[in-house]
Chain A
């Protein structure tokens, strides 16, 4: 029997109000699901308060208030498992409210594979603190020693029988008024009944039947529909608007112009779309983008504002001088868009001087600050509420759509929904920046690696800011961030291998062509692409098996175990990594190779310890490459992952499968195109992604370590994909692919230029 539970929406529907868990006098102010005041000003959201995270009502229902939000990854279910486990209540009794600035603690953006690792661990500690307090209180009421108490399904009683009391009877409707205690004892993992199990996600049945409410479905009473009209060039100035061009559009409410921000508001969605299509506006010429064909020259010529030395062991430069053999290679990784299937959407309402904004933002607490700054309002007059939308995979357009909705709502003094069109999302979401990577290594006479030196060219990051500037704020000339925030993209530049001399340097650039942000495994993916491909180049240079070569320089037992398990899962057979195995000339390679006509096969191996501090992943990719067409087919991925304690193994597998498939798409196909004025890859025809006939099979082995910390899983297995494919293509053809995406044209060029 699979577990289902009422969604938040049903939960709300049943009660008619948003917050129902409390009936305390201090919390008597309830908030209706629509027309919410900007700030309830009553419930604590302080990170050190148990009440910020948890409430129990008289019936024993538990409400979890999570600052981390479910972006479609299933963490809502996983966090519920953590709470139900730690409190010993049935899963069906736990409800989750996510990402509401008035109700949920600011646990940081939902990014960086940290929802369980950080957010879940905070929540677990709050639950442990609550459990201890409940047991202590029950011991007093029941007159038994606390050590004798057991909890089953939220009911506490002595293990010797006798009277019992429920959580609901004890605390129902009252606050805990407790600080989260880091010393509060956690349950022994050996006793777990819910954590570690493949619990079915509670949101899936509704999603499969059209009963869920995505951000794109969300409505409030009296709501109008808005669309934005983007500048002809990214930096163009709005010269004039001909409002007569839309006067015939039925239901048009207003053309809104503020600086270079231009939008329309209409009674109906179709009216807003028609008005945005028909509105005639003239813009100044703007050609501030570099020529795409010279992108990498442009990146290399961009001013470096500072160097971040991300690792420095011995003297790599000196050791390179002394090396008997030196290798160098340059890698690059294209600009990518997030590519959400549902374009960004938001609803904003300003009432009595207070703003409420519903958004699929990864960080509603941060969005609240950005919106408040944009309108020069105090934060306390803004409430941002998370509503799940289409997956974002990083900072896509959600926050920008929110700012659009706010400006339009302010202009028409009614609630406005802004739904971005496809070209808005492809054209105006912030992009994963172009990344250029120079690698050098030196070998001694015995083929030992004695030097590793990498230099990566990436945008600088504004100090102290975690927020990408809002398009609407910039266009309208309202207060906004000025610096770039590309995410923590220098992670995984440093390497997990024990070379004696290592230097890794990020040259931070003063600019990048398109507004940057983070996309799944930001930087870690690009850096792992060059590092692990270059490792393969080194292995080939010394005639070593790629797996054995890595093990030679790895002194981390968990990493070693992982690679050995990967070798078993993938049935890896040692080879000389000569790049000629496909033609059967690789003497030590026992892997049977097939070559049918123009198609060569190969396999590539890769490894990561995420950020050198957490989740381990190893991957083996199997590919087929057509020498004539240059087309790569990724047939299979074998993945072994050690993320410490696993909360929901099926959820983890879902993330791994998704990471592999999504990243195969990014690596084989994806590249944002632009002319001198704007992005030109504005839909799925000009920015194609992987389709069903092209997907690889994926075998996954998870290493569960229930007594270890739970580490993130949303990104790490994405980071290994590019190098695994590149290395597999080398195995098949003996050519190196160092430029993502690996298009057929690049493959053909690599074949032609190979000796």
Chain B
């Protein structure tokens, strides 16, 4: 039975029509709303590539049912900043060239942005711990850590 669910995404109120209110948020963002930031990686909450913010907290959208989102404000990579108005973390990632294939990077940036909001001047070890559950296969980790550090200096 198609159900209409209101969502607040990247500063705007919107609605999605779905067959299953327990569908993970990821598919609503990607398929119903056409966003490319949140990415499908595992569907199991293991890799972090689907990370978005719910009221500023990083969550794994691939294991977050739509039904629990409620009125929480959702922010995706697109909502964090744009090419014209980059978020400091996005800017730092570009400056450090912190990507290879870049598939995991959306999750890295979302995780790092939420982390830096609560820790303004983290050590390398704290950055690595904060990203311990975000996986990268290309081996871009060193650049990612440098980028987060650079962002911390600029945030």
Chain A positions within 8 Å of B, measured between CB atoms, are 2, 71-74, 200-201, 203-214, 216-217, 250-251, 268-271, 273-274, 339-343, 388-391, 393, 419, 421-422, 650, 654-655, 657-662, 665, 683-685, 689-693, 695, 697-698
Q: A269 contacts B143, CB within 8 Å?
A: no
The CB with the most chain A CB atoms within 10 A, among B23, B35, B135, B144, is that of: B135
By Cβ-Cβ distance, the 6 closest A-B pairs, closest first, are A72-B101, A661-B139, A210-B37, A391-B101, A658-B139, A250-B19
Q: A692 contacts B134, CB within 8 Å?
A: yes
Please report the C-alpha to C-alpha distance between residue A374 and residue B37 in the assembled complex, in whole angstroms: 35
Q: A200 contacts B97, CB within 8 Å?
A: yes
Q: B101 contacts A209, CB within 8 Å?
A: no
Instruction: Note all chain B residues with C-beta closer than 8 A to A206.
Output: 83
The CB with the most chain B CB atoms within 10 A, among A207, A214, A390, is that of: A207
Residue of A nearest to B92 (CB): A208
Q: Is B125 an interface residue (CB 8 A)?
A: yes
Instruction: Note all chain A residues with C-beta closer than 8 A to B39.
Output: 214, 216, 342
Please report the C-alpha to C-alpha distance between residue A490 and residue B69 in the assembled complex, in whole angstroms: 54
Other than the given A204-B93, A216-B40, 20 more pairs (CB < 8 A) read A207-B105, A208-B77, A210-B37, A268-B27, A270-B19, A270-B20, A271-B19, A341-B47, A341-B101, A342-B39, A391-B138, A654-B143, A655-B100, A658-B139, A659-B139, A661-B139, A683-B46, A685-B44, A693-B125, A695-B142
Instruction: Note all chain A residues with C-beta closer than 8 A to B36.
Output: 210-214, 217
Distance (whole angstroms) from the CB of A35 to the closest CB of chain B: 19
Distance (whole angstroms) from the CB of A467 to the closest CB of chain B: 23
Please report the C-alpha to C-alpha distance between residue A271 and residue B27 in the assembled complex, in whole angstroms: 11
Distance (whole angstroms) from the CB of B141 to the closest CB of chain A: 5
Q: A209 contacts B19, CB within 8 Å?
A: no
Q: A393 contacts B137, CB within 8 Å?
A: yes
Q: A208 contacts B129, CB within 8 Å?
A: no
Q: B19 contacts A692, CB within 8 Å?
A: no
Please report the C-alpha to C-alpha distance between residue A418 and residue B137 in the assembled complex, in whole angstroms: 22
Q: A210 contacts B77, CB within 8 Å?
A: yes
Please report the C-alpha to C-alpha distance between residue A405 and residue B82 in the assembled complex, in whole angstroms: 33
Q: Is B104 an interface residue (CB 8 A)?
A: yes
Chain B positions within 8 Å of A, measured between CB atoms, are 1-2, 18-20, 23-24, 27, 30-31, 35-37, 39-44, 46-47, 49, 76-78, 81-83, 86, 90, 93-95, 97, 99-106, 109, 125, 127-129, 131-145
Q: Which of B42, B47, B102, B133 lies in contact with A204, CB distance below 8 A?
A: B102
Please report the C-alpha to C-alpha distance between residue A583 and residue B76 in the assembled complex, in whole angstroms: 53
Q: A684 contacts B46, CB within 8 Å?
A: yes
Q: A209 contacts B139, CB within 8 Å?
A: no
Q: B100 contacts A209, CB within 8 Å?
A: no
Instruction: Note all chain B residues with C-beta closer than 8 A to A658.
Output: 100, 138-140
The DSSP consensus for interface residues of chain A is loop
Q: B31 contacts A654, CB within 8 Å?
A: no
Residue of B nearest to A211 (CB): B83
29 examples of A-B residue contacts, CB within 8 angstroms:
A2-B95, A74-B100, A200-B94, A208-B77, A208-B93, A208-B109, A209-B81, A209-B86, A209-B90, A210-B76, A217-B36, A269-B31, A270-B27, A274-B20, A339-B137, A340-B137, A341-B101, A341-B104, A341-B137, A342-B41, A422-B41, A655-B100, A658-B140, A662-B137, A662-B139, A685-B44, A692-B131, A692-B141, A695-B142
Please report the C-alpha to C-alpha distance between residue A662 and residue B142 in the assembled complex, in whole angstroms: 12
Q: B141 contacts A72, CB within 8 Å?
A: no
Q: Which of A274, A393, A693 lies in contact with B129, CB distance below 8 A?
A: A693
Instruction: Note all chain A residues with C-beta closer than 8 A to B97.
Output: 200-201, 204, 650, 654
Contacts known (A210-B37, A683-B42); A689 close to B83, Cβ less than 8 A = no
Q: Which of B44, B93, B128, B143 lies in contact with A693, CB distance below 8 A?
A: B128
Distance (whole angstroms) from the CB of B153 to the closest CB of chain A: 18
Instruction: Note all chain A residues with C-beta closer than 8 A to B145.
Output: 692, 695
Distance (whole angstroms) from the CB of B145 to the closest CB of chain A: 7
Q: B95 contacts A268, CB within 8 Å?
A: no
Instruction: Note all chain B residues with C-beta closer than 8 A to A390.
Output: 101, 103, 137
Instruction: Note all chain B residues with C-beta closer than 8 A to A343.
Output: 40-41
Please report the C-alpha to C-alpha distance between residue A74 and residue B143 in the assembled complex, in whole angstroms: 15
Q: Which of A73, A216, A691, A698 lies in contact with B135, CB distance below 8 A?
A: A691
Instruction: Note all chain B residues with C-beta closer than 8 A to A342.
Output: 39-41, 49, 103
